[in-house]
């Protein structure tokens, strides 16, 4: 019997994968790397096409009177201030020529709120005063002083701004920087910060130029906001309150030293960036109120025991009692003893400075006031160590420095800066900003940063009174500044809780200023309303000053200059009015000023000149962005009729009179002229 042989199972033959060729491997790897980048690129392009988050470039384009200019973008700070509940500060929207002329000098002023000019705007700021001074000194140059100052920013943002401004042909950078290194954007104690060190902050600032990164950041902020308290419960105080995260930073604490390192490093980066591009840079030293502003927050040294703290309080109370009874010698002794008990508490040094000042020991008083300011644990004022970092860095790297601190001291009683030049803790008043600009101009001359030695030698001597008049700063600026400061000082950190500030305007000027300070009306509208009020009470000089203030801010516009001319005419100053109308058309040709020039020449019995101006008025009106009203057109036709009649061309005069009546049937003067012309023809 045949046995069946068992069939052995066979193993499946495994195929060995064919290895990728080196070329295919490279293509595959490259695809893996590039595909995400390609997706990001497509998203970035799409976001730019649809203008996600709007225009956040520092410099944008703006059309004025049909002509394009560069302008500082008022919304640029939105790229830094994304946190919900944080007010976004705005820079001044200063304009400058897109095509820089050969005789143009372009200066960018960078820095924090002091450079921006808070609580004032435009003409009443240090850049505004500097612009006026340089224009008077160099009348043959076109002077552009562009204010890029921004509240609540520090050295990171200033460096970021400067890198962008390199593309716009600067002749000089002027920088005021140092007070915001703790609570300004990306400061060590700020709510607007990148936790991870200076390197990560710089990387973030570069990524903020990309719309994709902004999209991801905004999504992150929105997610966080879902877990935040409702808007009604969130902190909605001043920008100072919104920005301060670490509200106690003792002198020489780790955060304090970190801010020092960052400040010095960013100063060097700013200087290196400017030097590499061959652009001169000028820094200003820092000023703050020593004599008249007590520390915001005073803290004891951690090593001070409870017993010693109680001893400090006893000495302080006794010193204050002695001051109340005008025993200043005893008070100074008691306050001095308190500073020996605890040398970290700012209040002790401030009270000591006040007593020493009353004793007329001014050098010792200044030293005490400086120690009080430096020990203020709520760091809205730079310490002397930050000032020294600025001075040493500039000296080491051969960078000119405007000693504004010395100028303020020299112009303050007994050399101690107080309320005479500073409004609250650190922002200058109008006289302070004027002095700041004057000091910077003197430094430009000394360092030959602007113009040659021959240019400066030929420059006229300028008096302070003339320059203040040229600035067009008026009572409106002062009043608005006062109101803004009062709004500020009735909230944290000046008071513990918000205290409503009630201001009851007693005059139309105060009412208009209050409406503007509350952001109910635009700046130019407020000025024009003031001008109309002043004209109504026959204060034409003040009416013209308000309009000139606007013309300095929008120097390419006919509107404010036309109003200046009109107010001369209303006052009966015909020659001044005619010169002002000519200035108006030379700035921006327009039918309104041309029409008024025609009227002036008719009044002077110069019908040829009148006819020419009136004809130009109608030609300009065809393409001008602001048109003559039907009433204005009828008035122009009537004036043409008068001019033709005076020249003996009665047929054309009749035709123009009829045209005027067609536009305005009730025009009595035109009807009377037409009747006279009909009688002449018969």
Which of 375, 408, 423 is where one domain is finished? 375
Q: Which domain holds residue 195?
A: 59-227+240-290+383-470
Residue 53, classed as helix, strand or coil, is coil
pLDDT on residue 217: 77
232: pLDDT confidence band, cut at 50, 70 and 90?
Answer: very low
| Residue 89 is assigned to a structural domain of this protein | yes
| Residue 666 is assigned to a structural domain of this protein | no
pLDDT on residue 493: 92
Whichever domain contains 361, its CATH number is 1.25.40.10
**419-441 mean pLDDT:** 97
Query: CA-CA distance, 119 to 481, in Å (whole number)?
Result: 5
Indicate the pTM of the whole model: 0.89
Q: Rg for the chain (alpha carbons), in Å?
A: 34
| Residue 310 is assigned to a structural domain of this protein | yes
pLDDT on residue 681: 61
Q: Does 36 have pLDDT greater than 90? A: no
pLDDT on residue 234: 45
Q: What is the DSSP string of 264-320?
A: HHHHHHHHHHHHHTT--EEEE------SS---S-----TT--HHHHHHHHHHHHHHH
Spatial contact of 440 and 284, defined as CB atoms under 8 Å apart: yes
Mark whether 389 and 318 lie in a shared domain: no
Mark whether 275 and 400 lie in a shared domain: yes
pLDDT on residue 14: 57
Q: Please, which residues bridge with residue 176 across strands?
A: 111, 284
Q: Please, which residues bridge with residue 71 across strands?
A: 60, 95
pLDDT on residue 207: 86
Residue 633: burial class (beta carbons within 10 Å; 0-12, 13-18, 19+): buried
Mark whether 211 and 75 lie in a shared domain: yes
Mark whether 109 and 137 lie in a shared domain: yes
pLDDT on residue 571: 97
Mark whether 364 and 450 lie in a shared domain: no
| Residue 420 is assigned to a structural domain of this protein | yes
Q: What angle do CA 167, 102, 124 make, to 5 degrees?
A: 70
- Sign (positive or negative) of CA dihedral 49, 53, 58, 62: positive
Q: What is the DSSP string of 4-50?
A: PPPPPPPPPPPPPPPPPPHHHHHHHHHHHHHHHHHHHHHHHHHHHHT
Mark whether 327 and 466 lie in a shared domain: no
Per-residue pLDDT of 104-133, as tens digits, reads 999 999 999 999 999 999 999 999 999 999
Per-residue pLDDT of 469-527, as tens digits, reads 999 999 999 999 999 999 999 999 998 888 888 899 999 999 999 999 999 999 999 99
What one-character DSSP code corresponds to residue 413?
G
| Residue 570 is assigned to a structural domain of this protein | no
Cβ contacts of 589-592, under 8 Å, gap ≥ 24: 589/558, 589/616, 589/620, 589/624, 590/558, 590/562, 590/620, 590/624, 590/626, 591/617, 591/618, 591/620, 591/621, 591/624, 591/627, 591/628, 591/632, 591/636, 592/558, 592/562, 592/617, 592/626, 592/628, 592/632
**559-579 mean pLDDT:** 97
Mark whether 367 and 399 lie in a shared domain: no
Mark whether 424 and 457 lie in a shared domain: yes
Exposure letters 333-342 (e unless 16+ CB within 10 A, then b)? bbbbbbbebb
Mark whether 282 and 325 lie in a shared domain: no
Q: Does 2 have pLDDT greater than 50? A: no
pLDDT on residue 230: 54
Strands 142-147 and 172-176, by their bridges, are: unpaired
Mark whether 180 and 90 lie in a shared domain: yes
| Residue 158 is assigned to a structural domain of this protein | yes
Whichever domain contains 211, its CATH number is 3.40.50.1110
| Residue 401 is assigned to a structural domain of this protein | yes
| Residue 139 is assigned to a structural domain of this protein | yes
Per-residue pLDDT of 442-457, as tens digits, reads 999 999 888 778 888 8
Residue 185: burial class (beta carbons within 10 Å; 0-12, 13-18, 19+): buried
Q: Could you tell me which residues come within 8 angstroms of residue 673 by beta carbon, excluding any fewer than 6 positions away?
A: 638, 641, 642, 645, 653, 657
What's the domain count of the chain?
2
What one-character DSSP code corresponds to residue 153?
B
Mark whether 137 and 261 lie in a shared domain: yes
**297-310 mean pLDDT:** 96
630: pLDDT confidence band, cut at 50, 70 and 90?
Answer: very high
Which of 358, 375, 392 is where one domain is finished? 375
Alpha helices, H only, 50-178 = 113-116, 126-137, 155-165
Mark whether 83 and 142 lie in a shared domain: yes
Query: CA-CA distance, 1 to 152, in Å (whole number)?
Result: 106
pLDDT greater at residue 457 or residue 573:
573
Please provide the average confidence, as pLDDT, over all residues in the chain. 90
Q: Does 166 have pLDDT greater than 70? A: yes
Which of 470, 500, 523 is where one domain is finished? 470
């Amino acid at each position: 019997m045949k046995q069946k042989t068992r069939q052995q199972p066979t193993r499946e033959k495994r195929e060995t994968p064919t290895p990728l060729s080196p070329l295919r491997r490279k293509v595959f790897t490259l695809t893996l790397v590039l595909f995400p980048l390609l997706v990001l690129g497509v998203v970035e392009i799409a976001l730019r096409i649809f203008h996600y988050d709007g225009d956040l470039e520092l410099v944008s384009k703006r059309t004025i009177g049909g002509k394009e200019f560069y302008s500082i973008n008022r919304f640029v700070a939105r790229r830094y201030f994304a946190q919900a509940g944080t007010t976004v500060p705005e820079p001044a929207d200063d304009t400058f020529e897109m095509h820089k002329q050969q005789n143009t000098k372009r200066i960018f002023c960078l820095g924090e709120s002091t450079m921006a000019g808070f609580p004032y705007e435009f003409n009443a700021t240090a850049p505004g005063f500097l612009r006026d001074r340089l224009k008077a000194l160099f009348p043959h140059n076109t002077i552009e002083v562009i204010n890029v100052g921004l509240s609540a920013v520090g050295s990171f943002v200033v460096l970021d701004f400067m890198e962008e401004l390199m593309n716009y042909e600067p002749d000089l950078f002027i920088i005021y920087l140092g007070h915001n290194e703790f609570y300004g954007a990306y400061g060590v104690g700020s709510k607007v910060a990148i936790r991870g060190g200076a390197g990560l902050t710089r990387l973030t600032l570069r990524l903020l130029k990309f719309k994709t990164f902004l999209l991801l950041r905004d999504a992150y902020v929105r997610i966080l906001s879902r877990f935040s308290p409702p808007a009604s419960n969130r902190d909605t105080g001043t920008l100072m309150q919104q920005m301060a995260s670490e509200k106690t930073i003792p002198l020489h604490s780790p955060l304090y030293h970190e801010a020092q390192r960052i400040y010095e490093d960013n100063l060097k980066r700013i200087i290196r960036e400017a030097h590499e591009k061959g652009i001169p840079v000028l820094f200003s030293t820092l000023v703050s109120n020593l004599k008249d502003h007590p520390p915001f927050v005073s803290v004891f040294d951690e090593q001070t025991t409870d017993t010693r703290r109680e001893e400090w309080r006893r000495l302080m109370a006794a010193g204050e009692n002695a001051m109340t009874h005008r025993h200043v010698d005893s008070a100074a002794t008691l306050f001095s003893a308190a500073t020996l008990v605890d040398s970290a508490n700012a209040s002790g040094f401030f009270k000591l400075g006040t007593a020493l000042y009353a004793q007329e020991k001014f050098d010792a008083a200044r030293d005490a006031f400086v120690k009080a300011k430096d020990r203020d644990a709520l760091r809205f004022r730079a310490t002397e160590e930050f000032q020294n970092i600025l001075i040493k860095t500039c000296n080491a790297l051969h960078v000119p420095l405007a000693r504004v601190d010395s100028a303020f001291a020299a112009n303050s009683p007994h050399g101690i800066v107080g309320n005479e030049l500073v409004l609250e803790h650190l922002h200058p008043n109008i006289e302070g900003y004027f002095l700041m600009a004057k000091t910077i101009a003197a430094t430009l001359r000394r360092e030959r940063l602007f113009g040659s030695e021959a240019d400066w030698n030929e420059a006229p001597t300028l008096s302070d009174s003339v320059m203040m008049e040229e600035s067009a700063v008026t009572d409106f600026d002062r009043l608005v500044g006062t109101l803004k400061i009062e709004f500020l000082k009735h909230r944290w950190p000046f008071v513990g809780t918000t205290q409503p500030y009630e201001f009851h305007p007693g005059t139309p000027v105060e009412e208009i200023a209050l409406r503007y300070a509350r952001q109910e009306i635009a700046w130019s509208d407020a000025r024009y309303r003031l001008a109309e009020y002043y004209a109504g009470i026959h204060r034409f000089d003040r009416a013209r000053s308000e309009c000139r203030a606007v013309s300095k801010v929008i120097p390419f516009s006919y509107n404010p200059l036309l109003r200046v001319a009109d107010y001369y005419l209303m006052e009966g100053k015909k020659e001044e009015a005619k010169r002002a109308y000519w200035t108006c058309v030379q700035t921006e040709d327009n039918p309104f000023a041309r029409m008024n020039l025609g009227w002036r020449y008719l009044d002077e019995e110069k019908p040829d000149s009148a006819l020419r101006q009136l004809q130009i008025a109608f030609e300009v009106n065809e393409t001008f962005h602001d048109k003559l009203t039907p009433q204005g057109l009828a008035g122009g036709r009537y004036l043409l009729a008068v001019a033709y009649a005076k020249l003996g061309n009665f047929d054309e005069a009749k035709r123009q009179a009829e045209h005027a009546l067609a536009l305005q049937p009730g025009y009595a003067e035109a009807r009377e002229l037409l009747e006279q012309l009909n009688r002449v023809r018969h």
